[in-house]
Structure 1
Amino acid sequence: MPSAPLPVRDGLNPTRLRLPADSDSATVLDHLLARFPDDHERLREKVAAAEVVDGSGTAITAETPYRAHSFVYLYRDPPTEPRVPFEIDILHRDEDLLVVDKPHFLASTPRGRHVVESALVRLRRDLELPDLTPVHRLDRVTAGVLVFTIRPQARRPYQELFAHRAVTKEYEAVAGFDANLPLPTTVRSRIVKPDGELRCVEVAGEPNAETRVELIEASGEVARYRLLPRTGKMHQLRVHLNSLGIPIIGDNFYPTLHDVAPEDYSSPLQLLARSLSFVDPLSGATRTFTSRRRLAAWT
């Protein structure tokens, strides 16, 4: 993917648009106005202010001819979002890495209705780090250790650690307790997300997801578990604990899907990315980062 000719602004990357071949627009502006009919006034303002550019960084004008398959870059106005009322704790910072303790309910990166209220945008703004980039991601409802690179030169080595599964991940969960369930155990299954569905399902076939589940301690009908995933499929830990009959407390997806109001923070998913360990690709040192958070359901 070509690099954007516009810098990060206010924590957000510019939007990149590819001009399709099936448009009958005469100019780039005509196409933008047809594509975003509710933003006519702001689009004209952005073009007049030279805030819309092509792939070389040249400003688009009202007369710039339409060229199929070319790219256009512009800043979209971020939506107004209620602030997620939890703070990000910094665990470590050096010239290459920023490691944070992400709270529940805060998205890792801009997505859907959570744009400004994401860990990436907050940190870019608060720490004035426009090149900050996530090395991996956590679900919005999962708390814990999240790693970013600070310098563009450091991105690839650290991202490859996760791509090559060279990172030891430890999670913690509070879930139901079944005294008859033999633990520790390793769950292996094939997890897929059907098109158009919110939830993932386990299906027959070669396993693509593996999690070791260990009991830390139990109290009555609930228990605290250590989860050691070897893979990173979507919702893997939630699906695997549910398949064992011990769904995670606060999970509104498994075993049954039920709506939770967007600003309802009363029942966080009791899942925490407790720690990450890896051999640093630049220094060769073994590094471990550990969350200081505690799961509220385990007092």
Structure 2
Amino acid sequence: MMTRVPMPPPLPVRNGVGPTRLRVPTSGPWATIAEYVVARFDHLDADGLYRRFDAGEIVGVDGSPIGRGTPLGAHQFVWYHRDLPVEEPVPFHEEILHVDDDLVVIDKPHFLPTTPSGRYLRESALVRLRIRLDNPDLTPIHRLDRATAGLVMFSARPATRGAYQSLFEKRQVAKVYEAVSARPPGWNSGDLPIVYRNHIESQRGRLRVVVDDAREPNAETEIDVRGTGVSASGRAVLHTTLRPHTGRMHQLRVHLAALGVGILGDRLYPELLPEAPDDHALPLQLLARELEFTDPLSGAARRFVTRRALTEAP
């Protein structure tokens, strides 16, 4: 299967942040694209938006400026740079483990998103790294949830990006995670190891995935015990090794919760807890520990291991 290479955006990365693409309707009650944009972002100053059109800051897919008089229907998409909001810094920092001409591997801390999302734009691993390494071409090859710590790989240049992306698409990367859960009373060590399977579906706009036990499993994780004991905070805990054979959204969190050993610090599974500020004293006890694969360019065996540790491990 060929990997489709997306068309590069017509505007450059600026301050580590890529441009934003907006789909524009081809018909409607607006005479011009500018009128639609002003109506679409009615919480922003209309005069300020019109000035951005006049200054040539809004462009089409070919990079040509779109003026305030450009009629609706002339472009399907427009591109622009967002005004960067004031962000509260994430007080934890990524560690660069490996850099070469094609690949960057980092150790991501808890609470730092891999890519810009929600209220985090500059405070993301991607934007931080683009600025730190002065490389606007950096792109994540895979992602970790903001709450999860550990290894993330980035492509350093477009020419070889597809080769590394195909490793994940073809499931040719061996991934190992570890997690710490509260140990249930009377827990039986004979319950693990196990290969757990179910059907997981992520739905747009929902924080949690949907589990459908009536459908054919599409998510599979090998789960084994690393150890049991008491954590530094005095909790009775279960420390597990997780080897996902598939890569569904929230897969590891869902599978451990289904076994009655939900991960410590998880505010989504097994129960959705009310939104609250980050608890830096108890980050989600989930860590992407190892990545192992055959390099698609050199054919060499490559293995990366995190330098982080889970704070609640026994």
Q: Which TM-score tier does this pair reach, normalised by the shorter chain?
A: over 0.9
Give the alignment partner of residue 160 of structure 2, picking from 154, 179, 184: 154
Q: Which aligned pairs between 1:59-138 and structure 2 lie closer than 5 A? A: 59-68=65-74, 70-138=76-144
- Structure 2 residue aligned with 1:163: 169
Structure 1 residue 3, shift from structure 2 partner: 2.3
1:279 is aligned to 2:285: no
Q: Which amino acid aligns with 1:13?
A: G
Structure 1 residue 231, shift from structure 2 partner: 0.3
The Cα offsets for residues 234-257 of structure 1, whole Å up to 9 and x where unpaired, read as 111111111111111111111211
Question: Retained in 1: the 8 A contact 2:60–2:75?
Answer: no
Indicate the SS of the match to 2:181. Answer: strand
Indicate the SS of the match to 2:175. Answer: strand
1:242 is aligned to 2:252: no
Q: Which aligned pairs between 1:16-95 and structure 2 lie closer than 5 A? A: 16-39=21-44, 40-68=46-74, 70-95=76-101
Structure 1 residue 112, shift from structure 2 partner: 1.8
Structure 1 residue 260, shift from structure 2 partner: 4.3
Question: Retained in 2: the 8 A contact 1:168–1:277?
Answer: yes
- Aligned partners of 2:60, 2:132: CA distance in 1, in Å? 30
Flag structure 1 segments of 5+ consecutive residues without an equivalent. Answer: none
Question: Retained in 2: the 8 A contact 1:20–1:68?
Answer: no
Structure 1 residue 144, shift from structure 2 partner: 0.1
Q: Which amino acid aligns with 2:84?
A: P
The percentage of counterpart residues that share the same residue type is: 50
RMSD (CA atoms):
1.7
Size of the alignment, in residue pairs?
A: 299
Flag structure 2 segments of 5+ consecutive residues without an equivalent. Answer: 1-5, 231-235
Q: TM-score, normalised by structure 2?
A: 0.90
Give the alignment partner of residue 214 of structure 1, picking from 215, 224, 230: 224
Which stretch of structure 1 is more off in the superposition, 63-72 or 143-152? Answer: 63-72
1:7 is aligned to 2:50: no
Question: Retained in 1: the 8 A contact 2:11–2:63?
Answer: yes
Q: TM-score, normalised by structure 1?
A: 0.94
Structure 1 residue 97, shift from structure 2 partner: 0.5
Q: Which amino acid aligns with 1:277?
A: E
Which stretch of structure 1 is more off in the superposition, 206-215 or 54-63? Answer: 54-63
- Structure 2 residue aligned with 1:254: 269
The Cα offsets for residues 5-32 of structure 1, whole Å up to 9 and x where unpaired, read as 1111111111112221232322222221
Structure 1 residue 65, shift from structure 2 partner: 2.6
